[in-house]
Structures are given as C-alpha cells and as structure tokens.
Structure 1
C-alpha cells in the first residue's frame, strides 16, 4: 500500500466537503495534488482546462449554477496570476470558491523560477482568507476554514500548499480536527430575519405608496412566489437587475424586464414614475437608471447588511433572507392593489414588447442579432441552463431571451470580463449532464477562450446522458462591445467557428440568412452531440440603451428653486401617467 501523503489528505477533505470536481491546469508545484486527484477514482474528479483563467471561470460557474463551493487549482507564478479573473468574478458576484495554489521555493538562495508573492497577489481578491499550509497536521483544519469562510462570506478564499508539504508523509494519528459544516455551501448558514420594528416600518411605507416598484436581484433566488404575491397585493410593477433576470417568470404582464444600460425602456419608465421602491437582493451598479434621489421612499432587503445603502439611499433597511423576509412582510402589508398604477405598468410592458418585436424584425445585413435571440426564446428547452458572455450579446439576451421558470442563466454580471460563457457552460454541463446547456457569446469571446475550451467539450461529451451543449456565436467580425460605438482597431479576423466544431467531431451550423435562423436553432437543439451555431450578424445594429428616467434632473442642487423644479417635473410625470392609463 502506497504511503499516505498530504496530497491524499487534501483529497479526503475535498471529498468530506462533497466537492464533485476540481478545475485547473497541472504544473510542477501542484503535481502531487493532481496525482492524488487522478488516483481518487473521480471522487472528486479533476477537470483540466486549456487555461488557468478558464479553470477559475469554471469554478465560479460551478458555484453560480449549483449553489455549492467551486474549487480550482494552479501552480505558482503566471499560472496563479491567470486565476485572478475568475476569482474576481466570484468576489464581485458573491460566489464561494476555494483556490488551491502549489508553491515550490526550493531553488537557489530560497528563490524559485516563477516565484511571485502569493499572499500579496491574492490578498485583495481573497481578502477574507489567504493562508499557507506549513505542517501536515494543519492541513485538514486549514481547508475546513477555507470552505467555511467561502460559504459564509460568499467569496473566494485561497490556500497555498508548498510542494514539499504535499509530498510529506501523513502521521498515522493526526490531532483531532474540527468537523465539517453540514449546511449546503453557499446558502445562509443560519436563519436571518429583520427585527419586527423594521418589518412594521417597511410595511407602513409600502402600504402608503401610490406607485410601488420592486427591483429584484440575484439574492431573491427562490423567492419568486413571495415577490409575485407582494406585487399583486400592492399592484406593484417589477423590474430586475441583469443578475436577477432568471428569478421571475418574464411572461408576467407587470414584469418590465431588466433595468440598466442593457435593459428595457419599460424598466426605466417604471423607475422614473414610481414613488416607492422595494429592492430585494440586488447590488445593481447601473444606478443612473434608478429613481432620482428624493423621488422615492426606499426599502432594501439583503442577507448581507454591508450591501444595504451602498448603491442608493435607503429609508428602511431589512437584513434578512429574501423569502423569509417577504413572507413576514406579507402578514403586515394590507391587500390594497393600486389598479390604476398596475394598469399603467402593464401598458409600459405592452409598449416595450411591441418595440422589441419591431427591433428584432428590422432588416439587417446579413442577419439581425436580435432576431437570433428572439428565435431561441420560442424554442428554449425547459430546465435548460444558459451561460452568457460579455459584449453586445448581453443586450440581446437581456431584452429578447424570455426566461420561463426552471431555466437558470448566469453571466459575469459585476466584473464584466469577457470569455466566461463557455467555461461556465462546461461547469454547468458537468453538474447536470442530463439537461441541455447553452452558451451565448460573440466572436470576440469565442476567439478569447471559446475555441480552446471547445476542446474540453469534445473530450467530455460522450459521457453525457443528454449530449446537448449548444454554443451560439454571434459573428459580427467587429470589436464593438458593451458601452456602444465602434472600437478603434478595425474589423476582427474571421474564423470558421462552425467548421472548427466539425473538426473536433462536434456539430456545426453556419447561418447568414434571416429565414434560416429558426431552422438552424431546430437543427442544433435536435443534434446528437454538442453543437456550434454560428450566426453571421450585422455589427451596425444599434445597441439603443434606454434613456435614464428623469436624466435631466440629475445633479440639481438642493436649494429652494431646484427643489421646486423637481417637484414640478414629478407632478408632470404623474399627470402623464394618469393620462396614459385613461
């Protein structure tokens, strides 16, 4: 029997934490742990990525799609540096990830090739927990603490294991280590509810509102039933942050869509017309589309009190779990739906849906990208998972892909780093091999990370019960992206994306005519293997961000004349709203 070493001990702790797989790239300083994972019989499995950055995206994608703790590993030096993008994604979107880094400092004079100060390198992105292993008996408790901290703070943590420690023999009797937390990683570790006085204050504020708006973020996941019940009780309109888009059924008649630069006109109008705002589990950075300060009274619900009031002034803070807090509010808020306000909201939604349909049907050369997402919306499989990249595809996803209940969707929402969608999709598919997964990205993201990680897809797909992992590439051969306008530098080199898929033994379809878009979706959704749908789209289709509500009033001073002008404008808005209802 082989001697038990610390690398084996690490695998045991990963297994104790129910980690199904570890993403990473092999390297000399982490080789003993990779070897132990290879010997683990798939429990946990080691998933080699083509690049450390995509490994960290896979770990973050695993956390986003499963609610568990993602795990990635790398060796020192540039390998460790490459993990940062995915770890910052986890930090800014509040997802638990543990990074395990190997280090070898046995070179001349104590230095080593590729040596970088790992504590300082990871000190910001993993600011909640960065620790070095020094002795075998420390390792179990060190890993347990890293996992507990990641789960409790919803953030990435880092453990550095010197190579010499990884190969050190484990004593037969290690000191007793702390037990493993049995709560589901990534979920609240305790029941958190606001104080009764705060709930009463929030209920009073909501009950006195004449035009209530609800802004839903990713922290409201699992609270859809309570949100709809409260919105119906108040006759409120609903908008979501980009990350909150999958929380509610977007077919609801009072659902105005995504708020912000990539969002809808209806959501901007909702924010500009409301007098009371309830924010649930959102840290949305697009505050230019929020109501003008002083226009509304605001309640914010968040499990993390540190987030309350960081984006927008709050009158009543409610620190608590979204679903439980909403249930407590429902017992206090009177059932007095404001039908005139609800009617106005539904008119906003109807008008926006007409606009969106017109935009998708507009002629383009050769294909309108909005049409591509709209055709998918009618065909999106139930219980699918959707991964979305950064770029113009976010605009079309936010406005044209209608997510029914049961469909998960994830993106790099706060960091906004390109190249995440295909790694996310790989992580989602490995976690749910019996359900379809879609990755939506542009040609820039496909060239950045997607072409290489399609090799990872080709390596794994024959073991999936449902082989459908569909990659949409919006090929506009252009460098434009989020923010609008054309980026200097000329057109991007073209790549035969569908042809590359076929070279790897996958399915590939290229479409450059609008009448073929629907049949192309039917073909890839029925394929017996992963597929790339390459849509050749028009780079000149405008992004058309909605106008921020009451944008001309922003920045006014608080003197008497300015306050009077603000009041007059709000009165004008109310009069327009009343006329529209009639």
Structure 2
C-alpha cells in the first residue's frame, strides 16, 4: 500500500515517542484522521470537546511530563480555536506542537470556505517556528524542526498542512539541490554550564550579605535539592513564584510560600527586609513585591539570557542551567553563623500558617472558600497532581494549599486565562494515569468550558489505572476575581449584570453524565466530602457552595485599595456590609497573638 503524507506524519510522530495527540476532527485534516485509523490509533487521537481544550490538554500534558505536547485541529475555525491554549503555552514556556489543516492548495487565494491566512494568524503565537508544508518531501524536516524547536525554545510551534497534500503519496527528500533531509527523531537537552567568574562574584555577594532571600520559579524544579542546600548555608528564606509552587515542600519551615498579590505575608516581609536577593528560574513580573530598588544586592540564575535582569537591578546574571549553576556555587558559599535572620523567617512562617488555619475555619455563607483548599491540604495524596484555574479560587490554591515533596501543580501562570483547570487535569491524567489529579476551578470557568470537558473525562476514564480525578467547583454564582478587582482597584461596586452567574447544580450535571457528584453546603462537611471524592473509583465533581464575600486580602493592602473598597461599599455594593463583616473578621485573625 502506498504511504500517504498523512500516514507518514503519524509514523514520524511515533518515531518521536508521541503517545497522544489532543485534537478535534474536521475536513481540513481528513487525510490525517484517516491515517490515525489505519495506524490503529497509535499515537492515540484524544478527542476534546473543543479545539481550545485540546490545546490546553496538550499544554497540561507537556507541563507535567517535560516532553512535547501535540494538538491538532482543522483549517479555519479549528485553527483559530487553538490560539488561546497555544498562547498559554507560549507565555509559560511550554513545548507544544500544533498541527493544523488548511484549504486545498488549488483553492488558496480564492476566498474558499474556511480559508484563513494561517501564516498571519500564527506568526506571533508560533513565532519560534511556523511552516506550511506544500510538498511531501518537505514534511520530515518540517515536523522534526517543529518538535526540536518546541523542546529547545520551550515554546509552541506550528505545522500547517493543506488538506489535499495529506492524501498525496509520500516521497522522501533526496540528497540533491533544494532538498532538505532530516535525521533520526531524537533530542537531548543540553546542560548549560555557568562561567566561573560569574560564580565567584555571586559567591562574594552571598558571603557579604546577612539577610538573604531566595525567589524560585519553575526553572528551579530540577535544582530543588541544591536550592535547599543554598538556603541552609545562607540562612535564607525561600519564596515561590506561582509556577514554582511545587518546587519546594511547604513543610520546610523557611519556605515562605507564594509571592505577589496572591502571595503570603512572610514572603512580602522577607522581601521588604532582605539585603541580598537570589532569583532562580523565575520571571516573576511584579517588581513592587521585590525589594526596593537599591535595597538588596541581587543575583539571577536563568537558562534563558533574554529573560534575565528584567525585573530587578541585578549585579550578577548567570545564564546557565539552575542545577549546574548551583552545584558550582555551593562549594564557595560560606555558612552563616548568625541564624537570627533565618529564625525570624521561620517564626513568621509558623505564625502565617496558624493565621491561615484560623481564617480558613471562620464561618461564612454557606462555606468559607479558604476552607476548601485548607481541608484538601491535609488529605492530598503524596503523589497528587493539582491543577488550578484563573479566578478568586486561585488565591486559595496559592496561599492555603500545602505541597509536599513528590506533588505537582500548575495553572495558567502568565496568561492567567480562564478555563484551563479541567483540561490541564485531563492532560495530567494522560501524562500520569497512575496518579490522582485534582482540579480547583471557579464556577465561571466551569460554565465557560469545564462542564463540556466532563464528557472527555467520562470517555477516557477507563484508560487511567488510578481512577481518581476530582474537579472541585468553587460555586459562588459570581465572577468573583473581577468583582473584587472592581471594588479594590476602581472603587466600583459589584455590577450584577456582568458579574452574576446563572445557578446550576454541577453535582447533578456530573451524575447525569455518569460521573460521581457531591454537593457541599456546610463548612463542617468539606473534609468528609474530600475524603469521599479521593476514595472514589469514579471521577468526581465536588460542588462546594461558597461565600463570594470572603476577601482575597493581599499581603499588604495599600491605602488606595482600602479607600477604593470603602468607596465601593458606599456606592451601594449589593453585598457591601456582608463583605465588610467578612473582611474585618478575616483580617482580625492576623492580629490575634500567637
């Protein structure tokens, strides 16, 4: 049988070890879909409910494996729908390859049905590598470069394949003029070593400092052991950017937790008082939460030279792999004999966890959302993967959820788009079918696309050896994060027409689909509900009715934020006095003696 271009594409994906392609069909990729059928679904065609979800699933898969994720869609609208998920990958530095169909070559330029200028559409999101394949012999090099570039640049890339070409016979490139062959399907990540003089300068700065703070991001994940050793030598505290939340265990007494608007008071105070700052594998953008300019001498370690020295005036910029750089640095670091800085950090961290527990256990109408994350922390399986969505629930993921060694977690860190929580969880289950996965999502994100993806969970659940996949919905009938932003940033009361959501039972929807659904309307039932969901042999939706007026108070509320909040209440916020009561009650927990 003659091998078609579609057949060869599938074969080459197998050569690369690609096991899953997250996709949605359409006639613009019929030639490839038919090839999947002839290949007995190896790699597996994982059918999402929407192309955007396919891109999110590929991004989640890539985040939790470190390998490339692959998504696929038809021409025109299918290719357009992939964009948001691909931008999520781009902004969080995730290797994803998008394969999209295109109008037949004979019809291009004729305003044909579903003809979209994909080169223009994708030139930003896939700026590292974007190519349209127009002859069969072009394919191996184009696909291989798309995969290698995605892995090397940690970025999305895209391959456009016209629909008629997919069904044409495949012919390999020749060893001749204007033919570009390719090599074996393989990629080995390089180890980028630091320069010795940079390491020496960094050690001098660390040895001269007395109050060292460390900020880590996802780029420090492979260097977790070295970060711990550096923290012990220098007596430093360690704050975590949101994408680096799972890098170090929150059980370590000097880990101050998240930083920024969604961060903790110990992280905020450490940055206010340190005299030395080390940034490792993070591009945390909010410089107002870093030390005042000129306050601290700073060192940054990052594998990407383009992302270094942007957020704080650093003295030493080490462009290298984090693990390699720290291995070279540690022998030159002198142990701090004065441990008063470290002891102060540890006292602050211990007080913070006590405060969070008291805040989480406060009564609310009907359930305090902080308690949802707090009760989960005490029950998280050792190898759990947690995905989070964008919204007010992200505050509780960032602050209240304790990660231990061996756990993983992620979310849309830089794009902060709504909707990836559930598809990330699906990608995580395909990446690690033997691990429990929990998605924490707001009801806005659930209505946007999470409910539809419950059908994807139902369809593929039998393929996962560990059946535990829990979708926890923070059910408050409000687009809550934006409501709080209206109040705290603009002094505007909640605008009901834009912010209120239609009420629906997510537990009932799950049960109707054939999954497990548990509704929770009482704070004292939250722990038992988590126990039930985490012991179920059927994927479960926890539908927790929670209070939208429990405030996501930042670690340091400015005068302007307080003034705007009061202004919103005085202007007639529909729940104004309840939110004042909940806010005062929550803030008061920070003032109770420990």
**What's the TM-score, normalizing by structure 2?**
0.90
The whole-number CA distance in structure 2 between the counterparts of 1:137 and 1:81 is 27
Q: Please name the residue that 1:545 is paired with.
A: 554
Whole-Å separation in 1 of the counterparts to 2:55 and 2:271: 36
Contact 2:391 2:479 in 1 (8 A): no
Map 1:41-60 onto structure 2 (within 5 A).
41-60=40-59
Q: Which moved more, 1:354-363 or 1:49-58?
A: 354-363
CA distance in 1, matches of 2:286, 2:184: 39
1:172 CA drift (Å): 7.5
Tell me the CA shift for residue 522 of structure 1.
0.6
- Find the counterpart in structure 2 of residue 576 from structure 1: none
1:233 deviates by 0.4
Could you say which residue in structure 2 is the equivalent of 1:217? 217
- 1:417-456 mapped onto 2 (5 Å cutoff): 417-456=417-456
Q: Distance in 1 between matches of 2:126 and 2:173?
A: 32
Match of residue 568 from structure 1: none
User: Against the structure 1 CA distance between its residues 418 and 487, is the aligned structure 2 distance closer, same or farther, given a 3 Å change threshold?
Assistant: farther
Structure 2 distance, partners of 1:360, 1:345, is 22
Alignment pair present for 1:503 and 2:512:
yes
CA offset at residue 398 of structure 1? Answer: 0.7
TM-fit CA distance, 1:41: 2.2
1:263-412 aligned at under 5 Å gives the runs 263-412=263-412
Give the distance between the partners of 1:264 and 1:424, measured in 2 at CA: 25
CA deviations on 1:152-190 (whole Å, 9 max, x unpaired) are 111001111011111111238865832235335xxxx21
Aligned residue for 1:177?
181
- Structure-2 separation of matches of 1:438 and 1:246: 14
For the Cα contact (< 8 Å) 1:387–1:410, is it kept in 2? yes
Whole-Å separation in 1 of the counterparts to 2:23 and 2:201: 49
Assess if the C-alpha contact under 8 Å between 2:439 and 2:471 holds in 1.
yes
Asked if structure 2 preserves the Cα contact closer than 8 Å seen for 1:385 and 1:428, the reply is yes
Distance 1:440 1:196 in 2: 44
CA offset digits 1:31-84 (Å, max 9, x no partner): 111121232223210111111111110111111011010111111212111111
- In structure 2, the CA distance between the partners of 1:131 and 1:353, relative to structure 1 (3 Å rule), is same
User: 1:571 is matched with which residue?
Assistant: none
Compute the displacement of 1:358 (Å): 1.6
State the secondary structure of the residue aligned to 2:39.
Answer: coil
Secondary structure of the residue aligned to 1:131 is strand
Distance (whole Å) between structure 1 residues aligned to residue 519 and residue 287 of structure 2: 39
- 3-state SS, counterpart of residue 127 of structure 2: coil
Q: Do the aligned residues in 2 keep the contact of 1:291 with 1:549 (CA within 8 Å)?
A: no
Q: In 2 relative to 1, CA 337–215 (structure 1 residues): closer, same or farther, beyond 3 Å?
A: farther
Alpha-carbon separation, structure 1, partners of 2:192 and 2:109: 52
TM-superposed CA distance for 1:490, in Å, is 4.5
For 1:337 and 1:139, the matched residues in 2 are separated by 61
Instruction: Confirm or deny: 8 A CA contact 1:387 1:411 kept in the other structure.
Output: yes
| Partner SS for 1:246 | coil
Q: 2: CA distance between counterparts of 1:10 and 1:498?
A: 41
Residues 296 and 549 of structure 1: is their aligned pair in 2 closer, same or farther, counting only changes over 3 Å?
Answer: farther
Query: Could you tell me which residue of structure 2 aligns to residue 561 of structure 1?
Result: none
Aligned equivalents of 1:386, 1:258: Cα separation in 2: 16
Q: Does the 8 Å CA contact 2:249/2:405 hold for their aligned counterparts?
A: yes
Judged with a 3 Å threshold, the aligned counterparts in structure 2 of structure 1 residues 336 and 507 are, in CA distance, closer, same or farther, namely same
| Partner residue, 1:527 | 536
Decide whether aligned partners of structure 1 residues 114 and 329 sit closer, same or farther in structure 2, where only a CA change above 3 A counts.
same
CA contact (8 A) 2:480 2:499 kept: no
| Counterpart-to-counterpart distance in 2, 1:240 and 1:490 | 31
Q: Spell out, residue by residue over 1:252-291, the C-alpha distance to the aligned partner (whole angstroms, 9 max, x if none).
A: 1111110000010110001001010000000112222111
Do the aligned partners of residues 174 and 461 (structure 1) sit closer, same or farther apart at CA in structure 2, a change above 3 Å counting? farther
Deviation at 1:309, TM superposition (A): 1.1
Structure 2: stretches of 5+ with no match in the other structure: 488-492, 562-594
State the 1:24 CA deviation.
Answer: 1.2
In the other structure, the counterpart of 1:88 is 87
Q: Give 1:549 deviation, angstroms.
A: 10
Shift in Å, 1:223: 1.2
2:142 maps to 142
* Structure 1 alignment gaps of length 5 or more: 553-582
Summarize the alignment of residues 511-522 of structure 1 with structure 2, pairs less than 5 Å apart.
511-522=520-531
1:323 & 1:44 partners in 2: Cα distance?
Answer: 33
Question: For residues 11-31 of structure 1, what are the alpha-carbon distances to aligned partners after superposition, in whole Å with 9 as ceiling and x for unaligned?
Answer: 111111111110111011111
Q: How many angstroms apart in 2 are the aligned matches of 1:143 and 1:548?
A: 50
Question: Any idea what SS the aligned residue of 1:223 has?
Answer: helix
Aligned with 2:481: secondary structure? coil
Pairing 1:46-195 to 2, within 5 Å after superposition? 46-105=45-104, 106-107=106-107, 110-171=110-171, 177-180=181-184, 182-183=186-187, 189-195=189-195
1:289 touches 1:548 (CA, 8 Å); kept in 2?
A: no
Tell me, in whole angstroms, the C-alpha distance in 1 between the residues paired with 2:391 and 2:302.
29
Moved more, 163-172 or 420-429: 163-172
Q: Does the 8 Å contact 2:376/2:530 carry over to 1?
A: yes
SS in 2 for 1:331: helix
Residue 581 (structure 2) aligns with: none
Displacement of 1:550 in angstroms is: 13
